[in-house]
Structure 1
Amino acid sequence: MYNGRKVYAIVLAAGSGRRMHSKTKKQFMEILGKPLFSWSASRFDHHPAVDGIILTTGEEDIPYMKELTGTDGVCPLQKLAAIVAGGKERYNSVFEGLKKVAELEKLDTASPDTGMTSSGTQDPLIMIHDCARPLLTDAIIDDALHYAEKYHAAVIGMPVKDTIKVLDADHFVKETPERSSLWLMQTPQSFDFSLIYKAYAAMIRQDESGRLMIPVTDDAMVVESFAGQRVKIIPGSYENIKVTTPEDVKIAELYMRKSSENG
């Protein structure tokens, strides 16, 4: 718990990893002897503030995920609350995870903006994390929870280092935005349950009716667009990389070895 509020981490592990050029799905690829998803899931599992972990994965992979995370598995998770089937898109998987939290906590999703559970306790805090970011730290989790509680919506990120160019359809420069205002978004992205559920429910309704006109790329965008909520961006780490290509695996392993050497 965090200041009397339940904390759930939704760890997204339902991708295919096409850019890894591997027959093994990315979430199950080994990095230094452990499946990719387990690095961040284990970090949440050992953090004292986290009460429950929801893993989303492909429906066909649920038995394998249960095997890996069970008591006798290679990455047992004591705080694993549920493994749920992910959806077609990332946002579908997130919503499945949110629905599972609502079910476990018996939350009144018919009026999710009350900020209270059916039993009158406080709104849970939700952290949504891509398992492809294995270099999660306790400090990042601490900051994510602190600022989510303070501002209701908080996202980990880092300032861009390079000049960014906006191109036109013919790949000529159209605009050079001011670099100081540009940040790279990372995860976890953290919210009051009532806020993130309300925003996702509205987006899913629009999607199912065929009226979703914007590409949804992260959770902050959902609460910005569908709940009108300002999102606090807080510094994370340049080492909190997303493993997307084989080159990223090598970089992640270097950071992990360095972290191990530093204790």
Structure 2
Amino acid sequence: MMSSVLLLSCPDQQGVVAATAAAIAAHGANIIHAEQYVKADVGDDGSVFFQRLVFDLVRPGTSPESFLDAFAPVATRFDMTVDLRDLSTPTPTAIMCSKQPHCLYDLLTRWRSGELPMDLRVVISNHDDHRNIAEHMGVPFVHLPVTKETKPDQEAQVLATLEEHGVDLVVMARYMQILSDDFIGRFPMRIINIHHSFLPAFVGANPYRQAHERGVKLIGATAHYATAELDEGPIISQDTQHVTHRETVAQLTAAGRDVETNVLARAVRAHLEHRVATHGNKTIVYN
């Protein structure tokens, strides 16, 4: 028995749910979870219907490929965008990091404990600081240093490494380099980035020191898909924490790191469990 996730979207119209359920049943599958959402767009597009279905392929000899073939007439009839994933196959994933260790260590721990259903293939970094922890966890570590002058060549090496390891998802665990448009285009909606929610208010180095100097009362973090527009990609997960004037820069930084690790882990898990659909620059994140 194989569990699959079907993510679909189409213009909202009568009969979509019934036709989809009937097609799944006709293929000998059993729906075990379903969730849907209608986005009422203002403009020429009209309302858009989104649905996530988890089902077991219980009939002998069935496969995701055979299901998609059988489902094609329904998809065509309702002008659907369809994405089918096999839950039994973990997503081949790479983590990219720089010097800050908190997000990397958190993801490695959650992966080793079985909390994140990913096939972690490689850790790539422009610094060699975290080789020991990656290799201790049993993950290949690739050090690819970069300077302003060597950035194009280094990025080509990163892409070659990702291809070598068959990576499908890239997680930027505080990787402090801006990726080129070409790089991002190789992994559309498959690069997850994390940053503090001060952006764009406190850009550059030491955002928590800048926030402390301004006396902020709320800190937070945002995880999103990387797009060509820097830090403007569809948001997957966010969280905040209230602070007061009593916190030092070090305390703000520590609190911010806690929020960052939790937000990034939630976003990565949502992607790995195929609970994220995108529409323009917005995400629909199913429970």
- TM-score class, shorter-chain normalisation, is 0.3 to 0.5
Bigger strand fraction? 2
Max Rg structure: 2
Q: Which has the higher contact order (CA 8 A, sep 6+)?
A: 1
TM-score (normalizing by structure 1):
0.36
TM-score (normalizing by structure 2):
0.33
Bigger helix fraction? 1
